[in-house]
Amino acid sequence: MAFSGKMDLRCLSEDYYSPDVLSDDDAMLDSREVGGAPMASFPLPAVDDIDTFTSEVTNLVKPNHGTTTLGFIFEGGVIIAVDSRASMGPYISSQTVKKVIEINPFLLGTMAGGAADCQFWQRNLGVQCRLFELKHKRRITVGAASKLLANTLFSYRGMGLSMGTMVAGWDPDGPALYYVDSDAQRIKGKRFSVGSGSLFAYGVLDTGYKWDMSVEEACELGRRAIYHATFRDAYSGGTVSVYHVTENGWRKVSGDDVGDLHYHYYPEGNPTTQVVDPLDV
């Protein structure tokens, strides 16, 4: 939904819009300053508490969304693993969403939250990173890239963006992993999982994580963590994609359907279903 410069509030109830309170002449305010602060150029509803009114209206258009993404640093670099399901409330809208944004050959970003928000702003980050390289004749660091994204999102804080992303890569200081969200929160860490299935993924990730894992073990850990999240979380599913970032750049290791992974991990069937003889209890 896009809002024009002038909002027609006549669609609201009389409790929100009253001609006696807000006349036609006063409805459209110009850009002059009053008391040193710029005034709005569109009419405001005649309500007692504008903050409460705004939050109620915003909640009407907030979508329910879910996903599972994770990233962790180990001795051999950075592993990024994601699912590929997109949902619109209870409706599964796609099973083939690419939730890893390839910012440049050494930087990856993940998507969690609103798909359009994540795709647009991370591709915008790719433009900013390229401009940095052209200006300074060197590759941008992971920390600087995550800071650019956080600064951009800070400018739009409170405007309805929904993002929970990770920025991962390799720079002259080695591997790095940052979490950045739409509130401009920016956290550096070694293990993150974001999305509705993150609690399930964390259970596997924290149990199996070791710093000195081999590349094969690390990829399998990320793959298995995402699979178990898709098994328990209805909003996660599709394909499990695993990426590995090293000093030579990133590469996609695998992309496996969660149905195939289920029979790979549990060839004898559902691990949660077991017929118990009452006499054995």
59-74 pLDDT per residue, tens = 655 556 678 999 999 9
**pLDDT per residue as tens digits for the range 160-169:** 788 899 999 9
Report d(CA 240, CA 178) in Å as an integer: 21
For residue 157, how many other CB atoms are within 10 A of its CB? 12
Greatest extent of the chain over all pairs of C-alpha atoms, in Å = 83
- Provide the whole-model pTM: 0.73
Domain that holds residue 176: 64-259
Query: Mean pLDDT across the stretch 166-181?
Result: 93
Report d(CA 158, CA 42) in Å as an integer: 18
pLDDT of residue 218: 95
Residue bearing the bigger pLDDT, 39 or 117: 117
29 falls in which pLDDT band (50, 70, 90)?
Answer: very low
Helix (H) or strand (E) holding 80: strand 77-82
Is pLDDT above 60 for 2? Answer: no
CA-to-CA dists, residue 85 to 99, 212, 234, 239, 251, angstroms: 9, 31, 10, 8, 21
Is pLDDT above 70 for 76? Answer: yes
Catalytic (active-site) positions: 67
Query: Mean pLDDT across the stretch 136-146?
Result: 93
Q: Are the C-beta atoms of 167 and 180 separated by less than 8 Å?
A: yes
Residue bearing the bigger pLDDT, 12 or 41: 41
Query: Mean pLDDT across the stretch 165-176?
Result: 93
Is pLDDT above 80 for 147? Answer: yes
Answer yes or no: is 11 within a domain.
no
Report d(CA 41, CA 32) in Å as an integer: 9
Answer yes or no: is 265 within a domain.
no
Answer yes or no: is 95 within a domain.
yes
Q: Are the C-beta atoms of 6 and 18 separated by less than 8 Å?
A: no
Sign of CA dihedral 271, 204, 93, 243: negative
pLDDT of residue 26: 43
Q: CA triplet 30, 34, 37: central angle to 5 degrees?
A: 95
Q: For residue 163, what are the contacts with CB-CB under 8 A and spacing of at least 6?
A: 112, 113, 114, 117, 118, 121, 153, 180, 181, 182
Q: Are the C-beta atoms of 164 and 65 separated by less than 8 Å?
A: no
pLDDT of residue 279: 62
Q: For residue 54, what are the contacts with CB-CB under 8 A and spacing of at least 6?
A: none
Q: What is the mean pLDDT of the chain?
A: 81
Answer yes or no: is 205 within a domain.
yes
Report d(CA 144, CA 221) in Å as an integer: 28
Is pLDDT above 50 for 269? Answer: yes
Three-class SS state of 78: strand
Answer yes or no: is 50 within a domain.
no
Residue bearing the bigger pLDDT, 154 or 52: 154
Is pLDDT above 50 for 20? Answer: no
Give 3-state DSSP helix, strand, coil % of the chain, rounded to 5: 35, 25, 40
Kindly compute the dihedral angle of the four CA atoms of residues 5, 27, 50, 2, in this order, to the nearest 10 degrees. Answer: -20
251 falls in which pLDDT band (50, 70, 90)?
Answer: very high
What the block records as the tokens of 33 is: 């300053």
CATH number for the domain harbouring residue 151? 3.60.20.10
Answer yes or no: is 188 within a domain.
yes
From 13-27, 66-80, 129-143, the region with the lowest mean pLDDT: 13-27
Q: Are the C-beta atoms of 3 and 160 separated by less than 8 Å?
A: no
pLDDT of residue 42: 64
Answer yes or no: is 199 within a domain.
yes
Residue bearing the bigger pLDDT, 11 or 196: 196
Number of domains, the chain: 1
Answer yes or no: is 48 within a domain.
no
